[in-house]
Amino acid sequence: MRYLLIDRILFLQRHQKISALKNVALSEDVFADHFMGFPVMPGALMIEAAAQAGTALLEVSLDYKKKAILVMVERAKFRAMVTPGDQLQITGTMLSLDDSLARVGIEARVGEKLVMDGRLAMGLREPDQFYPPESMHVVKSVYECWLRHAELVDFD
């Protein structure tokens, strides 16, 4: 993945909940054009950051036996602008899970202010459809970095 939008995971409870951080920096390429003189984080990137958090919740919870893929954004609402210098805290809560689909409720806040919420439908597929087996260590190393200082609940 070229654009890793999550900087770290704060909390992960298997099959339940995740909390992740995205530090919004003026040096990010997107702010050169969105918008010149008034930099605002695009809603699509807020959704992508939330999808990455949801993906982490699902893939770690399922011991990397499934690859989660965003298939639908449901009821997304953008409630305030996110600008450079903000720290976006994303919370994902697992709403449902079966063999091929999961739904994750998402909220994004800057401080106490709700800036986005909605639901994500995530398709669950076999990882070898997306990653050659010899590259799974790279995927796992991203998660290890994100999880390094996280509070982990329900881990053996």
d(CA 83, CA 140): 30
* Axis crossing angle, helix 43-61 with helix 136-147, rounded to the nearest 10: 100
Q: How would you class 139 by CB atoms within 10 Å of its CB: exposed for 0-12, middle for 13-18, buried for 19 or more?
A: middle
The 10 Å CB-count burial string (b at 16+, else e) for 100-116 is eebbbbbbbbbeeeebb
Is residue 34 among the annotated active site residues?
Answer: yes
**Chain centroid to CA 48: how far?**
7
Helices (H) and strands (E) in the chain, counts: 2, 7
Query: Among 15, 34, 137, 149, which one carries the catalytic annotation?
Result: 34
Known catalytic residues?
A: 34
